[in-house]
Structure 1
Amino acid sequence: MAAKLVRKCLVLLVLVLLLVVPAFSFPLKRRKPLNVIKEINHKGPYLGLVTVYPPEENAFFATGIFKPHRTLDLSGRRFLVGKIHEKKVIYVRCGVGMVNAAVATQQMLDLFDIKGIVHFGIAGNLNDSLSIGDVSIPKQIAHTGIWEWLNPKGKLNPNYVAHLDVASYNVPKGKGRNLLGRIGYSKEEFFSELGKPNAARPLVWAQISQHWLHLAHNLKV
């Protein structure tokens, strides 16, 4: 009777171990990165730097101004901790696309003690007074990614902030019939901690704070 009871207890103990060990083994894999993040944040706050793809990253490192002293790989991205002109920074390459930019930026804000983020890299230009290598600092920015195709004779929604008549850009002008119609642009939905929870505010132009404009204007690399 005692032997049977011991065997049952052993079987029960083995089952408990099988349930408990996997539960504790997963957090152990994350314990080291979390400790590293805690150690890094203890020396913060940092300025976050974000580029998009390898050519921008290569050009950045070619300057020699960034001196990383720590590397941390998290969720497929590599975060580099270092200094630029004695200013503490954390750098990451986010990847191409708006989703990657948003995810990498949010990941940086969630994990590290960040006082601000600079997203920099290659840009297009419609101003012929600017040349290759010039740095442009906008006072305001607009995201035009929310738009709808409309029929050539389709009515414009009064909520559109702007529209584009594709037929107006036929080349040569007046030749042929353009069936692409119109493009109607809508406002962004902006959520802020200063507003009501779960209540979006329509936004066309996002203003850059005077603090960041002053900082960027006086930045010398």
Structure 2
Amino acid sequence: MGLEKFGKCLSMAAWMSLLVVYAYAEGSSRKWRNEVLKQVNSKGPYIGLITVFPPEETAFFGTGAFKPSPIHSSLDLSGRRFRIGKVHDKKVIYVRCGVGMVNAAAATQQMVDLFEIVGIIHFGIAGNINASMSIGDITIPKQFAHTGIWDWVNQNGTLDSNDTVAHLDFETYNVPKGGHNILGQIRYIHEEFFSVSGEPNIARPLFWLEVNQEWLHVATKLERMELEQCINKSLCLPKKPKLVVGLRGTTANIFVDNAAYRDFLFHSFHVASTDMESAAVVMTSVSNGIPVIVIRGLSDKAGGQSGQNAIKTFGPLAARNAAKAVLQFLKQLN
């Protein structure tokens, strides 16, 4: 055998050895993970807690109510850290899903698939769309809509009325009024909803996603709870925040900070809040037959303000109020 052929054989043998080592390591890691999951689930069932981004996580853990499990306090899966513990003697598994609907749906489905989950509480902050609500208030909506699923047509295009929930005509927003707008029109359409309670592989059109009605009734007991009003001694909200149950919320992969679009959402869908995850968590939970509720603190006016958006100033306070509401809700659950 020549030196060149010998070198190629040696290189191939090295690669094969590496693949064997990798496969063995992967297999061992998967076996370890499955064993941990088995041990964790044997201590269940759990209530799933899902936030979105670091300030909400900080607010939740800042309450000191979460007590980690002494055996397996966390498990890292697909880049996310699932934390196992208790809150007010309720067994919980907490995860921060990340911003946007894809992250929210992926984390929710992963939680439902891998852990013994009997319900999900999704919480964090949101933009305020309803003039009767204020920054710092808590909303626990009865319904959510995904308002980011569109057909976008030309200015002279035809809208199919059969599947149109609402439509936005860009020409309406021309300044000065009159003329055409080549952005045309957007029509808001239904989701395709698959469910464990429906026919397999057959979707039904759905626009308003309902949270669990029993849990919503439990949430009404929180309506008089005390909420934080001040960031510090020198910066407070003008009035005491309130908690409201039973309004509507909207979700899309859009951070809304535009007064005109804020008004459009309110008048077209009669919603009180806007965020980027809730509808995805609700839809994924309901699809799996899992009870779900959403608790959001209003951090800003979604573009309805004069000047800069208030999320950086009042976001932490809204997140703390949401976390406090979650703790009170868990206390009320049987």
TM-score by length of 2: 0.57
Question: What is the letter of the counterpart of residue 91 of structure 1?
Answer: Y
Computing the radius of gyration over CA atoms, which structure comes out larger, 1 or 2?
1
Does 1:171 pair with 2:175? Answer: yes
- C-alpha deviations, 1:58-84, integer Å up to 9, x for none? 122222222223111112110111111
CA distance in 1, matches of 2:99, 2:43: 30
Q: Match of 1:59?
A: 59
Question: What is the letter of the counterpart of residue 169 of structure 1?
Answer: Y
Q: Match of 1:162?
A: 166
- Secondary structure of the structure 1 residue equivalent to 2:27: helix
Does 1:214 pair with 2:212? Answer: no
Q: Match of 1:204?
A: 207
Aligned length: 205
- Contact 2:52/2:99 (CA < 8 Å) preserved in 1? yes
If asked which structure has higher relative contact order (CA below 8 Å, sep 6+), I would say 2
Q: Match of 1:77?
A: 80
Q: Match of 1:3?
A: none
1:93-108 alignment runs, 5 A limit: 93-108=96-111
- C-alpha deviations, 1:98-146, integer Å up to 9, x for none? 1111111111111100001111111011123323332211111111121
CA drift at 1:38: 1.1
Q: Match of 1:40?
A: 40
CA drift at 1:217: 2.8
- Secondary structure of the structure 1 residue equivalent to 2:125: coil
CA distance in 2, matches of 1:125, 1:79: 30
- C-alpha deviations, 1:42-67, integer Å up to 9, x for none? 11111101111111111222222222
Question: What is the letter of the counterpart of residue 101 of structure 2?
Answer: M
- Secondary structure of the structure 1 residue equivalent to 2:128: coil
Structure 1 spans left out of the alignment, 5+ residues: 1-17
Q: Match of 1:119?
A: 122
CA drift at 1:39: 1.1
- Contact 2:194/2:204 (CA < 8 Å) preserved in 1? yes
- Secondary structure of the structure 2 residue equivalent to 1:39: helix
- Secondary structure of the structure 2 residue equivalent to 1:124: strand
- Contact 2:128/2:135 (CA < 8 Å) preserved in 1? no
Question: What is the letter of the counterpart of residue 124 of structure 1?
Answer: G
Counterpart among 132, 143, 146 of residue 143 in structure 1: 146
- Contact 2:171/2:179 (CA < 8 Å) preserved in 1? no
Question: What is the letter of the counterpart of residue 48 of structure 2?
Answer: G
CA drift at 1:21: 7.1
Structure 2 spans left out of the alignment, 5+ residues: 1-16, 223-327, 330-334
Question: What is the letter of the counterpart of residue 137 of structure 1?
Answer: I
1:84 and 1:22, CA in 2 relative to 1: closer, same or farther beyond 3 A?
Answer: closer
Question: What is the letter of the counterpart of residue 164 of structure 2?
Answer: Y
Question: What is the letter of the counterpart of residue 181 of structure 1?
Answer: G
CA drift at 1:22: 6.3
Does 1:31 pair with 2:35? Answer: no
Question: What is the letter of the counterpart of residue 199 of structure 1?
Answer: I
User: Structure 1 stretches (4+) deviating beyond 6 angstroms?
Assistant: 18-22
CA distance in 1, matches of 2:153, 2:23: 54
Question: What is the letter of the counterpart of residue 42 of structure 2?
Answer: H
Counterpart among 171, 175, 187 of residue 184 in structure 1: 187
TM-score by length of 1: 0.84
CA distance in 2, matches of 1:205, 1:28: 44
CA distance in 2, matches of 1:48, 1:192: 19
CA drift at 1:188: 0.5
- Secondary structure of the structure 1 residue equivalent to 2:131: coil
Q: Match of 1:14?
A: none
Which deviates more from structure 2 when the two are superposed, residues 210-219 or residues 184-193? 210-219
Question: What is the letter of the counterpart of residue 79 of structure 2?
Answer: G
CA distance in 1, matches of 2:30, 2:88: 32
CA distance in 2, matches of 1:22, 1:178: 57
- Secondary structure of the structure 1 residue equivalent to 2:76: strand
